[in-house]
Structure 1
Amino acid sequence: MNIGERLQESWDYLTGPGLWLSIGEGVLRIILIIVLALIIVRVTRNLVDRLFKKREKGPIRITERREATLKKLIKNVVAYVVYFVAILMILDNVLGFKVGPLLAGAGVAGLAIGFGAQNLVRDIISGFFIIFEDQFSVGDYVGVAGIEGTVEEIGLRTTKVLSWTGELHVLPNGNVTQVINYSIHNGLSIVDVNIPYESNVNDAENAINNIVATLPDKYDFIVGVPEIIGVQNLDVSHFTIRIIADTLPGFQWAGERNIRKEIQNQLYNAGIEIPAPRIVMYSGNDKEKLLDKNRERGE
């Protein structure tokens, strides 16, 4: 068979219906597999939502924050598994790859890669411990790896933390070695108020008591009436009264800001001024008199 006949045969094959029918059939199978995978993922996510919704009426109770974390994790794991199976089906049933030997080789290669990818393995293991030990959950305000913010997502390998200034930090779970969780227990607002020595301690405490008694009604995140601890410090030009207040988890800073604002307004209306630095000045004659007095005392 000469070159011309081979070219003609190749042209007939490329323009013939058999090739395009097989390509069309393969593309159709791929589309069907992808659509089926998307449907399975969508249905599974709806089932997970319904399952957790029915659990609210059941005997097993978990916190809302942990529920949000588990729901997101289960949905992600299901999506990974379904898409992985879909890829295997496309490779085996459509493209004609032998998946069995490929998986066997992947197992051996995975073992070798595991020794080289120790950080990846550490991240995944740390992710399991974070989730199942309930160290923190989606929506918690935490301090982790030198970053403070709200947990947006917890995955098996990374955790996403949104800081209050808007930056989204993606942290490998292996770097989560110490966690400060502000969202589990009630917070404590600590406010120090400086009062000048010209004012009476009892008058200042009475004015403060009058305003703190109304704060729980004004602010939902303040739990109970704030308490005056007493005089915390004696400074050069003022003494310090400390107030503490229980708040909802994560609201201790908001509690401090609002308590300061309300107390400042009340003290101003009561005629108690904020202390200011004082400078004592002497004239030249006064200075000589003071020096003479000191000499006389020294004698």
Structure 2
Amino acid sequence: MIPFDDMDSLPETPLPQWWEDMLLLLRDVGLKALAVAIIIVSCVVIGLILRVVIRRVVHRIVDTAKNKASVDDTQALERSPLADMRLVQRTRTLGTILQNIVNVMLVVIAIVLVVNALSPSLLGSLTLLTAAVGAGLGFGAQNIVKDVLNGMFIVAEDQIGIGDVVDLGLASGVVEYVSVRITQVRDVNGTLWYVRNGEVTRIGNMSQGWARAIIDIGVPIDSDLEQVEHTMLETAQGLAKDPKWRTRIVEKPELWGLESVGGEALVVRIVVKTRANAKDDVAQELRRRLRAALIEKEIAVPSLVDVVPTGLDGARRVRGANPPRTRPNAVTGVPVIPDRGIWRRKKQSDDGSTQK
């Protein structure tokens, strides 16, 4: 039996080599796992913070536009200044784009940091592999990159917006949807065109600023030209002073006079500068009034021609083309939609009264 006093003098038994290797391995694995966990948690937290910041900025801009217009829904902004409505659309689209860019960047940064934490020697190989894959994807998906970049400029520069009447070269009509890759345009026949933003080289927007209604009237060759011009100008000025129409006309009507002389008719031109979305209505009403005024003066009217100088036959305004109601997404959240009544056919009771 060994005395207690001699216990301290016993030689220490060294640990087996495999046990030391196991402890070192567990330590390295634990440190790497901790580093990976810290990286992932940090990226998630940063992503959530940026998401909240982007959402608040978008909400602040949208709420400012709505409060300025005293409305609660995006569609109601159509009755407010056009700039407010377009600001809402552009802000929400750019907010979604910015959020997607932030998500992609955080994922890429997290992958690089995780690989570097697990094995720094693999980072160089991963960089070369990523460069090769990126070059291949860039060459094969260059059209997609072109579409996205062009779409970002289209949205950021407010070149087009939902509800605009545009000519994209490839299609003309009313814009129903705009994204960073494609634009949806519905033409006058009802066909919905999907136009890639990368294929758009020019944009003609007839819903921004002002428009001009140009009307040519053909009268008999022996007509009194001064009387015709006076009647046309007086009629157009009367339309501009009408309380129903004066808000849609931005300048006084102009008589451009004799446009051409044919074998059977004199063509006289009159123009009216209108708001962009009121051109067709003003032109239609002016043609109706001109015809009535000339007939009252006993001047025959062989033809009334509405001139479209740019030749955009299919890009006329489609009635009822309104901006869509607010749609919920990751940035804007769920909007408040007022309750709507449901229309039902009226039923007639036995006593002759109508009931729903």
TM range (shorter): 0.5 to 0.7
Distance 2:299 2:143 in 1: 60
In the alignment, which residue of structure 2 is the partner of 1:172? 196
Amino acid at match of 2:151: G
Distance 2:146 2:58 in 1: 28
Bigger mean CA offset, 118-127 vs 208-217: 208-217
Distance 1:205 1:55 in 2: 45
Task: Spell out, residue by residue over 1:127-166, the C-alpha distance to the aligned partner (whole angstroms, 9 max, x if none).
Answer: 1222233332333221003311222222121122222332
Distance 1:132 1:51 in 2: 15
CA contact (8 A) 1:158 1:173 kept: yes
Distance 1:52 1:227 in 2: 39
Distance 2:257 2:297 in 1: 19
In the alignment, which residue of structure 1 is the partner of 2:83? 63
Describe the shift of the 1:43–1:167 C-alpha distance in structure 2 as closer, same or farther (beyond 3 A): farther
Paired residues for 1:112-191 under 5 Å: 112-191=136-215
- Offset of residue 107 of structure 1: 7.5
Say which of 195, 213, 232 aligns to 1:208.
Answer: 232
Amino acid at match of 2:291: Q
Residue-pair matches, total: 223
Paired residues for 1:222-233 under 5 Å: 222-233=249-260
**Sequence identity percentage:** 27
Distance 1:43 1:165 in 2: 43
Distance 1:107 1:214 in 2: 69
TM-score, L = length of structure 1: 0.61
CA contact (8 A) 2:148 2:197 kept: yes
In the alignment, which residue of structure 1 is the partner of 2:62? 52
CA contact (8 A) 1:66 1:138 kept: no
- Offset of residue 47 of structure 1: 6.5
Between the two structures, name the one with larger relative contact order (CA 8 Å, sep ≥ 6).
2
Task: Spell out, residue by residue over 1:159-179, the C-alpha distance to the aligned partner (whole angstroms, 9 max, x if none).
Answer: 222223322221111101111
Distance 2:214 2:163 in 1: 24
Amino acid at match of 1:138: I
CA contact (8 A) 1:69 1:138 kept: no
Describe the shift of the 1:275–1:118 C-alpha distance in structure 2 as closer, same or farther (beyond 3 A): closer
Which 4+ stretches in 1 moved above 4 angstroms?
Answer: 40-47, 55-58, 79-86, 103-108
- Offset of residue 45 of structure 1: 5.7
In the alignment, which residue of structure 1 is the partner of 2:336? none
Distance 2:278 2:216 in 1: 17
Distance 2:174 2:151 in 1: 17
TM-score, L = length of structure 2: 0.52
Structure 2: where are the runs of 5+ without partners?
1-49, 69-81, 108-122, 304-356
Distance 2:104 2:142 in 1: 25
CA contact (8 A) 2:62 2:91 kept: no
- Offset of residue 190 of structure 1: 1.1
In the alignment, which residue of structure 1 is the partner of 2:287? 260
Structure 1: where are the runs of 5+ without partners?
1-39, 87-100, 277-299
CA contact (8 A) 1:73 1:155 kept: no
Describe the shift of the 1:66–1:144 C-alpha distance in structure 2 as closer, same or farther (beyond 3 A): farther
Amino acid at match of 1:53: D
CA contact (8 A) 2:165 2:172 kept: yes
Describe the shift of the 1:55–1:242 C-alpha distance in structure 2 as closer, same or farther (beyond 3 A): closer
Say which of 242, 247, 250 aligns to 2:269.
Answer: 242
Describe the shift of the 1:143–1:275 C-alpha distance in structure 2 as closer, same or farther (beyond 3 A): closer
Amino acid at match of 1:167: T
